[in-house]
Structure 1
Amino acid sequence: MSNPVKGAGRSPAGKAPVVVVAGGGSAGHIEPALALADAVMRLRPDATVVALGTERGLENKLVPARGYPLELIPPVPMPRKPTPELLRLPLKVRDSVRKTREVLERVGADVVVGFGGYVALPAYLAARGRIPIVVHEANQSPGLANKVGARFAHRVAVAVPGTPLPKAEVVGIPLRPSITTLDRAALRAEAREHFGLDPDAPTLLVFGGSQGAVSINNALSGAAKDFADAGVGVLHAHGPKNTLVVQEFPGRPAYVPVPYLERMDLAYAAADATVCRSGAMTVAEVTAVGLPAVFVPLPYGNGEQATNARPAVDAGAALMVEDADLTPAKVAELIVPLVTDADRVAKMSAAAVGMGHRQADEVLAKIVLEAAGA
């Protein structure tokens, strides 16, 4: 799918644009990059989209599965703030930038789109002064890579107002059409049958990101009897590296543990509410499908997950529980009554609808194609 090199930069008139996306590492960086890629291909079927990544990232699984070529570059460790550690890595940075520049020249890149993280920084530095750059920031508190890239970007797109980057334009987070057009009610019966869930019971979806979350796993599975006694079914994605043993209660709705959810659309359709982390991508998807949530922010980093969750909480679409406060007793006290209260669930769902930017993928794709000169 790559094009021969005839000089990197803006696409000449009539030339099919080549878009390079840099969003490796976590699903929170990769999924918006792939949603953008899909939107670019819908708008310009003649385009080429190439993804940058490293050999250790989740992109090695997700990108090829979506049909896009993946070019691997050396990772650059990313401290959250400028530190002496970064200054001690000039050789690694220089090597990664050189190899990234070789990739950009080889594929004939017309624009580089970065989503933050350790793949984006070398992409920004390699493209600087040569190829137009578009930055997308999903969090209200930008990471170091996007702070650097925004300084010399052609356009800067952000998910939420108040993001402290220069020239920021609020577009939302690019999401897959399978999420933004999801009809949960229409898919409910199919979704519950797919996962082996009770077709009629109130149902809770539990997940902790692509790798799972031990604290969420322990607290929710520890309340299995409370869910069973209340007649609540549970679909719990515990993470591929974790195990989860849950007591069964015959005659009660099933508590279904799975390592990973390949079909998030069906998981959302099966559920009446969810307990999850509050990464920017997760919050955007959960609110887009109108799913009431109990957000449990990751207790590390610079607090961006709590910031991500706050608008949904303020709108009445979600609750927030600190990670340290999440215990089986808290689950029984707060979450079981929520899932079994149909009126409250309906009001929270209605509050979530309309919060997000459902067309963010195509809005960003148009910005990217304009930057490419296409």
Structure 2
Amino acid sequence: MTYAAHSKPPKTGLAAYFVIPLLMDAAVAISALTVNLYAQDLGASKLQLGLLGTAWAVPYAFTSPFAGRWADRYNRTILIWAGLWLAALSHSASGLSTRPQHLIAAAPFGGLGGALFWPTFETLLHSKEPEETKARIGAFNVGWTIGIMGGTAAAGYFYHLAGPRATFFTIALIVALTGCYVLTRADWRLKLDGTEHHLEPSQNSTKVAPARKAGYLRLAWVANFGMWFAGSATNTIFPKLARSLGIPDGPIGLLSSLIMVAQMSMFIMLSRSSRWHYRLAPLLAAQAAAVLGVLVIGIGRAPLAFALGMLLLGISRGKTYSASLFYGLDAETSKGGNTGIHESIVGAAYIFGPFTAGISAEKISLRAPFFLTAAVVSSAIMLQIWIWSRIHPHSPSELQQASK
């Protein structure tokens, strides 16, 4: 991959690759809980709470596949800037809202902004120098993870102390100022030659038959959809359930953040081992833990039970997300296409998870979404077992190895 410009772009530090994702995801995390709590205070129905997440996810899921292609053709700085300012517009509009319908109308601008920002920003992580690429990715992953964790944990307290309007306007200002900073990065304006911007897997490629690789990739896609469905549904309804039990807003945010704590811990563990590669049992065990987790939340009444459920959800999502991404990059062909499907699956889960959670909470009860989620994840497990039965080796020794 070579730069389209004749001059080599200046080598910059890693701070921007850490700080910008941190600020963006902190803003998203604070906004997500603030929107939920504010919508409740404005008298939103359970169905409207579900629509809030869906209204954000639809434009994100449909626009993201195109944003990476646009980054090849157009000024990446402008695309990132447009994404940031659309997000700032969404936050500002939420701060001016006086009805739940206003919050729902503002949400698509945030989803569109995220779709323009994230795929374009991720193209900046690639460098001709492998060590530089590795350093950028490390800074990026740590940044967005801390942003979500910190933002989710602080959101409830921020909402209680500052109120919804001040919270929305503050994060809108932070995002807008970040957009101003992006405009100063002349090196980010360069377009890259070629169309393939996804990282190649390690040269120490796994010695697995292509057909088996493709099969495990399908397993991971199904598993990842189920887990992001579970996470988005839980994030949508849990604040309402917790409030109904008298839990203050601050602890609600802390409990919600435990998903990310467990997920990050799982990311770190999986990055240090390859024993889980192309093994069915760890993937199914993680999802079984998620089923247990959502059931614990669904029947729980104490913060300790909710904390346990959130931790189990985070552990499972860390496993399925890592599997989906790794198997996509380790495939023999269409690595970029696999990564695009990987992101689309996450977006689709954020469409259907909040929507179905809102409907089931509205029509049945506040606890119904968690039992529905357990059924969805259980169905995903059964589908994976069926897929595996079509691709697994037939000799006893190979069968035993595949299922370990």
TM-score exceeds 0.5: no
Decide which structure has greater helix share. Answer: 2
TM-score with structure 1 length normalisation?
A: 0.29
Decide which structure has greater strand share. Answer: 1
